[in-house]
A and B are shown apart, each in its own frame.
Chain A
Amino acid sequence: MHEMSIALSVIEAVTERARQEGGSRITAIDLVVGRLAGVQIESLRFCFDAATRDTPAEGAELVIEEREGRGRCESCGERFPVSSFYAKCPSCAQFRVKIESGEELSVRSFTID
């Protein structure tokens, strides 16, 4: 259940910045989570509610943009969508993918009141 650590890291990153920005309450947090980031969105949402309790982000809306995974075949150079690290190239059928995107796990923005 590393999603709890992830949720706590999100809160930590955001409350620090919110304080600098002079905001007293955080009403929304926008995250980008790639399909290959190793994070379960449902678990993250569940942990987020617990992690925000008694923080300036309590009750904040969690907005998550999921990013598709994309990779390039190191055998034939084909670029294709990947949903797992176990990814077969649709062109040459080799399993030699280099992940180009989909591992993102970042806070894009937050809203303060």
Chain B
Amino acid sequence: MCDTCGCSGDGGAVLRKPGVKDYHVHVGDDGGHHHHHDHDHHHHHGEVRKVQVEQDVLLQNNLLAERNRGWFEARRILALNFLSSPGSGKTSILEKTIPMLLERYPVTVIEGDQQTTNDADRIDALGVPVIQVNTGTGCHLDAQMVQRAVRELDPPERSLLCIENVGNLVCPALFDLGEAAKVVVISVTEGEDKPIKYPSMFHHADIVLLNKTDLLPYVDFDAAKCREYALQVNHHLEWIEVSAKTGEGFDQWIAWLTLKLAAL
């Protein structure tokens, strides 16, 4: 049940805005893809029949993702999907990145979490438009949630849209949102073998940000080994080492973003 309006939702995702107490939108309330055909064909009732389909299971999500992608491209919006384990520092990276870009490009953010608007509140404090998607029990964002959130957010042309996925290195790898690139964040307080423990995520990523490099002197983390593993899972990966705390490596990261934004 929805804890805001008390309606008997199906546990689906809800959009929220920081500081707007009563604002909440259920994803799928309208513009969803559930529809009924009135033209039922009545043939061969009572007869056991095999129907050939040959359809991708994620077809609906993939089609919606492509619509999102087309919309982003037409409006020259760079949409990035940020993925990581919980606590790797996705939100901290955004907090550091956004002020560095704002002079040149507008930035908007979609925050994905099962519960709370805590991350959206942190982004809101930077003064950029943000929508929180609460997935409830869901472990990943999907293309429909992003489509609905984007409609509420209305990102301007020639801007950066950061989509921070639910912290999870498994499930979000499967769901295309329509992003231009997947940015995977891993931190030095995790195991350096994360890329081979969760190869699907790293295989589908475009770039890895190794975060919290300021802690390297205090932890047993072999950054070179981690990078080697990541490249063994995906030899096309780009790799940048950063510290969202000290700003180390951000010149390289901002250069990467600026190059992408300039090419829009």
Give the size category of A's interface with B: 35 or more
A-B Cβ contacts below 8 A, count: 114
Which of B44, B58, B60, B175 has the largest count of A CB atoms less than 10 A from its CB? B58
Q: Which residues of A contact B171 (CB under 8 A)?
A: 1-2, 5
Q: Which residues of A contact B170 (CB under 8 A)?
A: 2, 38
A21: Cβ under 8 A from any B Cβ: yes
B151: Cβ under 8 A from any A Cβ: no
Smallest CB separation, B141 vs chain A (Å): 11
- By the criterion CB–CB under 8 Å, are B40 and A5 in contact? no
Q: Which residues of A contact B181 (CB under 8 A)?
A: none
Name B24-63 residues within 8 Å CB distance of A: 34, 36-37, 40-61
Smallest CB separation, B145 vs chain A (Å): 11
- By the criterion CB–CB under 8 Å, are A106 and B235 in contact? no
B249: Cβ under 8 A from any A Cβ: no
Name B223-262 residues within 8 Å CB distance of A: 229, 231-235
- By the criterion CB–CB under 8 Å, are B42 and A9 in contact? no
- By the criterion CB–CB under 8 Å, are B54 and A106 in contact? yes
Smallest CB separation, A67 vs chain B (Å): 13
B199: Cβ under 8 A from any A Cβ: yes
B173: Cβ under 8 A from any A Cβ: yes
B139: Cβ under 8 A from any A Cβ: yes
If A9-B61, A95-B235 touch, whether A111 touches B40 (CB-CB below 8 Å) is no
Partner of A12, one of B47, B60, B138, B229: B60
- By the criterion CB–CB under 8 Å, are A109 and B50 in contact? yes
How far is B231's CA from A22's CA once the two chains are assembled, in angstroms? 50
How far is B5's CA from A87's CA once the two chains are assembled, in angstroms? 50
How far is B199's CA from A80's CA once the two chains are assembled, in angstroms? 18
Smallest CB separation, B169 vs chain A (Å): 11
How far is B43's CA from A86's CA once the two chains are assembled, in angstroms? 49
If A2-B140, A21-B41 touch, whether A105 touches B58 (CB-CB below 8 Å) is yes
Which of B40, B53, B170, B200 has the largest count of A CB atoms less than 10 A from its CB? B53
Binding site for A on B (CB under 8 A): 34, 36-37, 40-61, 138-140, 142, 170-171, 173-175, 195-196, 199-200, 202-203, 229, 231-235
Binding site for B on A (CB under 8 A): 1-2, 5-6, 9-10, 12-14, 16-24, 27, 31, 36, 38-39, 74, 84-86, 95-96, 99, 105-113
